Amino acid sequence: MANENPNANLPPELRALKQHIGKIIAGAIVLAVLFTSIYQVGPEEVGVVLQFGKYERTVTPGLNYKLPLGIEEVYKIPVERQLKQEFGFRTGEVGVRTQYMPDTPDLIEEAQMLTGDLNLADVEWVVQYRIHDPYQYLFKVRNAEKSLHDMSEASMRKIVGDRTVNEVLTVGRQEVATRVEEFLQSLSDEYELGITIDQVVLQDVNPPDAVRPSFNAVNQAQQQRETLINEALSDFNRVIPRARGAAQETIQRAEGFALTRVNRSVGESDRFTSIYEEYILAPEVTKKRLYLETMTSILPNIGSKIVMDENGNSVLPLLQMQPNQTRALEASN
């Protein structure tokens, strides 16, 4: 009776299950080992393997093997993917028409910052970055994403705080984004985040809602002022050069007239001097020559002269001998 088989009183199904339970346990262990030892790393990722919580190695994309049952653990880091953090707003749904989440007190507080001239501005921006060193990203700081978020906000507040509200809202936006990118990259390198900043984009910059109407009125007044100044400069550039040109033309004309008169006077003076010298040498000849030259220049301009006999009755017959003068006389009458 002591050697009686203890399984004899068991139903056949339980006896069969008890016989195969070892195989079932062994199979479960094999499956657990397989599922916990083989893993795949995506094409944009690298795998960081920890052994009992300590860094062991970094593996490349594809199928890889690790020690099973929790001995080794893998963190997949997207090193080839561009990541982003949003500040002052959050994207709710990305599609044909991007939907943004409604403003909350936290987002409003995150966006509001003080400018260098003690004005408030609502600044919304995006930081685009990549992970270039997975080891630093995982182990050099406690939470790299949170650290980057805090450093981004601190960098933006520092750069905006050094500029006026007009610079931040208008002409200085690109410079602000560039300076924030440079400063944020220097902080990331200093704290060894293992992150490369690709770009900082100012999404939207506006004055707070409470002062926006007043701010728009000031901007409108400044734009009107600039318009009036530009119109005045346009009139100045149109009228003043023309007046200067006319004045210069008058001056040059006067200088030309003066030069002409001076040259003519000098020429006449020299001519008179030369005639006088000739007159000293030959008075009669010179006098006669001067008389003839004078008559030659005068007589052609005085027309024909008719010398009448005192017994003459009429001048009409003589006028018929000068048809050209007759027609001129009739035309003048």
Amino acid in the structure at residue 119:
N
User: Can you tell me the distance from the alpha carbon of 198 to that of 178, in angstroms, rounded to the nearest whole number?
Assistant: 11
Higher-scoring residue by pLDDT: 216, 228: 228
Spell out the residues 6+ positions from residue 286 whose beta carbon is closer than 8 angstroms to its own. 275, 278, 279
Tokens of 52: 């009992």
Instruction: Render pLDDT for 119-141 as a digit per residue (tens, 0 to 9).
Output: 889 999 999 999 999 999 999 99
Q: Among 36-40, 75-79, 171-175, 247-251, which stretch is predicted with the lowest mean pLDDT? A: 36-40
Tokens of 39: 């893993």
Higher-scoring residue by pLDDT: 232, 37: 232
Contact 205, 168 (CB under 8 A): yes
- Output DSSP code: residue 301: G
HSE of 127 in the Cβ direction (CA atoms, 13 Å)?
A: 28
The pLDDT assigned to 87 comes to 94
Instruction: Render pLDDT for 295-304 as a digit per residue (tens, 0 to 9).
Output: 888 877 776 6
Contact 61, 46 (CB under 8 A): yes
- The residues with which 46 forms a beta bridge, in sequence order, are 77
User: Can you tell me the distance from the alpha carbon of 266 to that of 274, in angstroms, rounded to the nearest whole number?
Assistant: 12
Using the predicted structure, report yes or no on whether residue 284 has a pLDDT greater than 50: yes
Contact 51, 127 (CB under 8 A): no
Which range among 21-30, 243-252, 299-308, 318-327 has the greatest average pLDDT?
A: 243-252
Residue 329 pLDDT class (50, 70, 90 cuts): very low
Q: Is 270 helix (H, G, I), strand (E, B) or coil?
A: helix
User: Can you tell me the distance from the alpha carbon of 290 to that of 295, in angstroms, rounded to the nearest whole number?
Assistant: 9
Average pLDDT over residues 261-284: 86
The pLDDT assigned to 2 comes to 47
The pLDDT assigned to 311 comes to 67
The pLDDT assigned to 306 comes to 64
Using the predicted structure, report yes or no on whether residue 145 has a pLDDT greater than 70: yes
- Output DSSP code: residue 94: -
Kindly report the number of other CB atoms within 10 A of residue 155's CB atom: 23
